[in-house]
Amino acid sequence: MPKLLIANWKANKNAATTVQWFADFAAELTKRLDGQKLAVKVVITPSFPLLALARQEIDTLMADWKTRMLPECGIELGLQDISQFGAGSYTGAVAGQNVAWLKPNLVVLGHSERRQYFQETSAQVAAKFDQVADLPATAVVCVDRGEVVPQARALGPAAASKVIVAYEPVEAIGTGKHTGVDQVTQVVKEIKTAFTAQTQVLYGGSVDELTINEYVLVADGVIIGTASLDGTQFARVVAAAQSTPMV
């Protein structure tokens, strides 16, 4: 299975900077790959209002790149969140039905910023998982170390066996703090014990082009925030991941 790289744009960007990002990303990645095929799966998660534009940009890029990717690799669209309610009278919410037409490949749930600033709980994350089940998308559930067991319990065994889990230590998010690979390896084990042995586990927290290699060796992929905001810089992160032996 190819490594999964998620570009988490959070609440950044507008229409003009989104278009610019794709132009910069495509130009730099083409240069860096230098004729090699793309061997990782990249998912871009813009804020809701930018999804349709990003979908258009991705479709154009993928049409151009048809022959330049290994099977199961390429660029996909993802969501940063979803409402815990279905479609209906929930002003301000975004339900699966509202975004299904944009063909999201995955939905990030329970990011620490959602837990911290929006008081999201593991029970709410479990309710959101049920909404993701309505989409042809996989849920990526973010947890810090102390949330591994409570989140697996809140999801229940059936849901827990279907999600991808991202280990995101709060102290490393947006801070430049480098989490030791031994610690990531240990928490990946704890996640596989609490979820399932087959669960794909990602790491997220200040990953950049200099550190991505070590993380993709011990995790199934990474979530990248700050280093994904500039298209040129993110293309370098992707190229660095791909250059890791065994990726």
**Catalytic member of 57, 111, 113, 120:** 111
The reply to whether 219 sits near ligand PGA by the rule CB under 6 A is no
d(CA 207, CA 209): 7
d(CA 177, CA 146): 19
For 198, residues 6+ apart whose C-beta sits below 8 A from its C-beta are 161
Identify the CA nearest to 209 among candidates 190, 222, 199, 195.
222
d(CA 75, CA 37): 13
The CA–CA distances, whole Å, from 86 to 56, 122, 129, 134 equal 26, 18, 11, 9
168 is catalytic: yes
d(CA 141, CA 138): 10
Q: Is 200 helix (H, G, I), strand (E, B) or coil?
A: coil
The reply to whether 225 sits near ligand PGA by the rule CB under 6 A is yes
* Closest residue to bound ligand PGA by CB: 225
120 is catalytic: no
Comparison of 2 and 221: residue with beta carbon closer to ligand PGA: 221
**Catalytic member of 57, 76, 113, 168:** 168
The reply to whether 224 sits near ligand PGA by the rule CB under 6 A is yes
Comparison of 21 and 65: residue with beta carbon closer to ligand PGA: 21
The reply to whether 45 sits near ligand PGA by the rule CB under 6 A is no
Comparison of 83 and 112: residue with beta carbon closer to ligand PGA: 112
Nearest approach in angstroms of CB 143 to ligand PGA is 12
Comparison of 95 and 125: residue with beta carbon closer to ligand PGA: 125
Nearest approach in angstroms of CB 112 to ligand PGA is 7
The reply to whether 120 sits near ligand PGA by the rule CB under 6 A is no
Q: Is 70 exposed, middle or buried (0-12, 13-18, 19+ CB in 10 A)?
A: middle
Q: Which residues are catalytic?
A: 111, 168
Sites of contact with ligand PGA (CB under 6 A): 8, 168, 173-174, 204-207, 223-227
